């Protein structure tokens, strides 16, 4: 009779759209993720490139966020993250259609993440040939049973 052991903390890489959805659009399908990193159930990994992309995205005019609001949102995410400096020669990863997605792949490998969470189709098409797994937010939620 085996018992299912629930992992206490998942080390994850979140793509920018997932982070934005969790921070800006506090809808039920993303709010749980924000609560998971705050409760330290997940440990997000970031690097200079992923932080830079997030900061640029928060400044998009369509979000209409003041500098102060952008800083508040960053302060609700970055303190919960582990920062990794990518090696000068990035890890080998599959060829990606969108070069802007490469830092997420490199980070997932270099950080030895449990999962890369993304809804980006350019990353999703690599799921069958990439380790760690690339999961959507919904698939990750089902995996960790939240």
> CA dist 17 to 3, 14, 20, 53, Å?
35, 8, 5, 10
> CA dist 86 to 21, 60, 122, 140, Å?
25, 26, 21, 25
Mean pLDDT across the stretch 116-128? Answer: 94
Mean pLDDT across the stretch 52-73? Answer: 96
Mean pLDDT across the stretch 3-7? Answer: 53
- Least Cα distance to 122 among 138, 100, 141 occurs for 100
C-alpha span between 26 and 141 (Å, rounded) = 16
Mean pLDDT of the chain: 91
10-144: CATH superfamily: 5'-nuclease (3.40.50.1010)
Predicted confidence (pLDDT) at residue 144 exceeds the cutoff of 90: no
Under 8 Å between Cβ of 37 and 77 = yes
Does residue 64 come out as left (phi exceeding 0), alpha (psi in the -120 to 50 range) or beta? left
Mean pLDDT across the stretch 32-51? Answer: 95
Predicted confidence (pLDDT) at residue 18 exceeds the cutoff of 50: yes
Among 51-55, 70-74, 95-99, the range scoring the smallest mean pLDDT is 95-99
Say what percent of the chain tops pLDDT 90.
83
> What are the b/e assignments for 57-86, b being 16+ CB within 10 Å?
bbeeeeeebeeeebeebbeebeebbeebeb
Where in the chain are the domains? 10-144
pLDDT band (50, 70, 90) for residue 26: low
C-alpha span between 127 and 142 (Å, rounded) = 17
pLDDT band (50, 70, 90) for residue 29: confident
């Amino acid at each position: 009779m085996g018992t299912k052991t629930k992992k206490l903390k998942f080390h994850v890489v979140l793509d920018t759209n997932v982070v934005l959805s969790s921070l800006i659009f506090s809808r039920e399908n993303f709010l749980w993720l924000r609560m998971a990193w705050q409760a330290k159930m997940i440990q997000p990994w970031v690097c200079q490139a992923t932080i830079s992309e997030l900061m640029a995205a928060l400044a998009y005019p369509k979000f209409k966020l003041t500098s102060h609001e952008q800083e508040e949102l960053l302060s609700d995410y970055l303190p919960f993250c582990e920062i990794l400096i990518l090696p000068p020669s990035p890890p080998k990863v599959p060829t990606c259609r969108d070069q802007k997605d490469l830092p997420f792949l490199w980070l997932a490998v270099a950080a030895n993440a449990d999962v890369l969470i993304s809804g980006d189709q350019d990353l999703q098409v690599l799921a069958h040939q990439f380790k760690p797994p690339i999961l959507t937010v919904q698939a990750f939620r089902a995996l960790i049973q939240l």
